[in-house]
Structure 1
Amino acid sequence: MLTNQSDWIFLAKGNANAVFSYRGEDPKLQGLVLRLRLQLADSQGYIPVQSIVEYVNSKIRPSFKNGEIVDMSLVELAPGFAEALSGISHVALQKDEKYGILLPNILPEYERATNIVEMSKHIKFRFYQNDITVLELKPKWLYQLPAGVSTCRNCALERLRSETKRGNTGKSTGAGGGISRPICPLDLLSPKTLQRWTDKVCSPLAEHMDVTQLKVQLLHVLQRQSSIKAIFELQNENNLDVHQNIRNLKGESSIGEDLSLSMTMKDVTVFITFGEDAADIKIIDLDLKPAAKWSHWKTMEQKLVDSGFYDELMSPPCNREVDL
């Protein structure tokens, strides 16, 4: 049981959880971080921490044979622990939470990056003095692009967000036969497009550094890993047609196990650590998605259909080949 909230220092937070780094003297906790739930505006979206750990261990972890899924240990919190830590850190935590999750700090030796560069909403580089690079990546939707659809969900959503910022609500005509495509995760699904993805991710850095070796090292890791394949397979179990499935949703009870797993795997974060003598992959953010999100999923899908961005021609077009 954790009793001393002063041993934990706020590290980072996302949409649903906050992470705290251990700074106490207990050797059993050295190198670990504590993940706690943020205060929820709507309790309908709450999934018990115990259920999350059980789901990851039973449904997700067996598909990853090389230890990519970080170890997760359920830990009991002393009464008032979360509330006290919330007061110290000024982070709004679920104050009555009885359990947290202990995880290894996947960047234990590299907490102070010399440079952090965000390439997009879902891609971030961390550079370190020892020539180690960490790529933080959310692959998002990995699937076989359906026949009759020109643009994948990832690129369509990126276009929708971009046009919304500009005050537009529908597609615009691009010069030269197509709209310039953002960094598309579907390029990760085939050896033929891995080089294209690597170039697209790394090339903007060339203004500030020599990226020749960076591209070679990253491509080398991507060509030899099996994590993307495992994520793809879990997102598409039983040949799930996720678009049609979401459009047909009528309530929480209509969400099947395949869709629940698919949406969970669409939000994972992959940390790729690489360098001349380093190569490692760890995966986090495996929270089971609450059924209460069904309305949000359906509304967003309908927005993308109505916008016309699924039918828009990208240049180059989204990859249609899956060869993992």
Structure 2
Amino acid sequence: MPAVKVIENDASSKNVVTMRIVGRGGANVLIEFGHPNWLWRCCVRWPHLLSANNAYTIDNIHYIKNNVEPLLHGLLCPMELIDVSTDILRPILDTFISELDDEVVKVIKIKNLASKVATNLIQNDHLLKSYCSQNFQTILLELKPKWIYYDTNYCRNCTHNALKGRKTEYCYNQLLMNSLHLETMLIDYERYPVEFKVTILEYLRNASNVFRVLYELQKKLSENAIPIKNLRSIRDIKDELLLLMTLRDVTCFIEWNNAGNTLSVHIVDVDLKPKKKWTHWTKTQRRIESGKKVLHTSNK
């Protein structure tokens, strides 16, 4: 979709600000408008009524703040709920929602984690994107660890990737068990600066790194949640399973800056899962269990 020019009036002049979509998922659009450090995240899960999307957004932000954020030890990307006039967003939302039946749009204002300088995309696959600046002075990794904990004798994530036809040679569970697995993950590993490698490998060996946090949370929740293969109806879906499925589907951003040799780590995509997805979960699980398994030699 092309960028939309929005004219803002003030007492002295007319200011033209560009509103543009910078990301699109199955349920949300990310909009940049007025400030490059922040994005507006609008729910478009229900294509007929804005009010339905607004109601979900309110429930979602309460869920994130009350149920998810306390578990993540400061790793959650900064975000807040704001009201935006429907007239401002109408040029974009008209494309996704047929009836804009509320005067305001419930928007999650979220920190823009895309680097302003690390814009050169050097690796791009389903589970990992790597960006760098000129001379690798800044590096941004966008990572999707998915099911980093599994209680089967096969790797659930790698088995699912194989089922989808993804030829992924690395595994976040393996990275958790052996930080040197990073060399397998990053294409052209030798191009990355030594300082970056030393810093991120030290971080990965730390017991409080983002992957360890997700692993422990998934493990604890798995012990109390009903296994997906045992689901028989939507009534079987309890809070523990919804939270577990949220934490199995997050995205992590790790940014390294040569100036100060610092790492910045955030987690995003922590939305409340709709209960109606249980049929998709069970169908996928049946396909995984009936297919070829991917095993690893290390402990799960």
Name the TM-score class by shorter chain.
Answer: 0.7 to 0.9
Question: SS of the residue aligned with 1:162?
Answer: coil
Which amino acid in 1 is paired with 2:172?
A: P
1:132 paired residue number: 138
Question: SS of the residue aligned with 1:140?
Answer: coil
Q: Distance in 1 between matches of 2:253 and 2:86?
A: 34
Instruction: Specify every segment of 5 or more residues in structure 1 that has no aligned partner in the other structure, as ranges.
Output: 24-28, 164-179
* Mapped contact 2:222–2:244 kept (Cα < 8 A): no
2:218 paired residue number: 235
After TM superposition, give the deviation of residue 182 of structure 1 in Å: 2.4
Alignment of 1:1-324 (within 5 A): 8-23=19-34, 31-40=37-46, 48-65=56-73, 67-86=74-93, 92=96, 96=100, 98-107=105-114, 110-129=115-134, 131-146=137-152, 149=153, 151-162=154-165, 182-190=169-177, 193-196=178-181, 198-202=182-186, 204-206=187-189, 209=191, 212-224=194-206, 225-240=208-223, 245-276=227-258, 277-307=261-291, 309-310=292-293, 312=294, 314=295, 317=296, 319-321=298-300
* Mapped contact 1:205–1:211 kept (Cα < 8 A): no
Q: Distance in 2 between matches of 1:256 and 1:280?
A: 34
After TM superposition, give the deviation of residue 217 of structure 1 in Å: 3.2
* Mapped contact 1:136–1:271 kept (Cα < 8 A): yes
Q: Distance in 1 between matches of 2:59 and 2:127?
A: 27
* Mapped contact 2:254–2:266 kept (Cα < 8 A): yes
Output one character per residue of 1:282-321: Cα deviation in whole Å (capped at 9) or x when no partner: 11111111001000000000011111x23x5x4xx15425
Q: Distance in 2 between matches of 1:199 and 1:74?
A: 39
Relative to 1, partners in 2 of residues 1:282 and 1:210: Cα closer, same or farther, differing over 3 Å?
A: closer
More strand by share: 2
After TM superposition, give the deviation of residue 106 of structure 1 in Å: 2.2
* Mapped contact 1:39–1:94 kept (Cα < 8 A): no
* Mapped contact 2:39–2:111 kept (Cα < 8 A): yes
How high is the TM-score relative to the length of structure 2?
Answer: 0.80
* Mapped contact 1:125–1:136 kept (Cα < 8 A): yes
1:168 paired residue number: none
Q: Distance in 2 between matches of 1:195 and 1:75?
A: 42
After TM superposition, give the deviation of residue 185 of structure 1 in Å: 1.5
Output one character per residue of 1:229-282: Cα deviation in whole Å (capped at 9) or x when no partner: 32223323354376x611111222211111100101111110001143121101
Q: Distance in 2 between matches of 1:21 and 1:137?
A: 22
How high is the TM-score relative to the length of structure 1?
Answer: 0.75
* Mapped contact 2:146–2:250 kept (Cα < 8 A): yes
After TM superposition, give the deviation of residue 6 of structure 1 in Å: 5.4
Relative to 1, partners in 2 of residues 1:210 and 1:256: Cα closer, same or farther, differing over 3 Å?
A: closer
Q: Distance in 2 between matches of 1:94 and 1:104?
A: 28
* Mapped contact 2:150–2:156 kept (Cα < 8 A): no
Relative to 1, partners in 2 of residues 1:78 and 1:238: Cα closer, same or farther, differing over 3 Å?
A: closer
Q: Distance in 2 between matches of 1:241 and 1:262?
A: 10
Q: Distance in 2 between matches of 1:206 and 1:235?
A: 29
Q: Distance in 2 between matches of 1:183 and 1:261?
A: 26
Where relative contact order (Cα < 8 A, 6+ residues apart) is larger, the structure is 1
After TM superposition, give the deviation of residue 7 of structure 1 in Å: 5.2
Question: SS of the residue aligned with 2:299?
Answer: coil
After TM superposition, give the deviation of residue 15 of structure 1 in Å: 2.3
Instruction: Specify every segment of 5 or more residues in structure 2 that has no aligned partner in the other structure, as ranges.
Output: 1-6, 9-15
After TM superposition, give the deviation of residue 93 of structure 1 in Å: 5.2
CA RMSD across the alignment: 3.1
Relative to 1, partners in 2 of residues 1:120 and 1:31: Cα closer, same or farther, differing over 3 Å?
A: closer
Question: SS of the residue aligned with 1:59?
Answer: helix
Which amino acid in 1 is paired with 2:126?
A: K
After TM superposition, give the deviation of residue 211 of structure 1 in Å: 5.9
Q: Distance in 1 between matches of 2:45 and 2:244?
A: 25
Q: Distance in 1 between matches of 2:147 and 2:98?
A: 30
Q: Distance in 2 between matches of 1:238 and 1:92?
A: 35
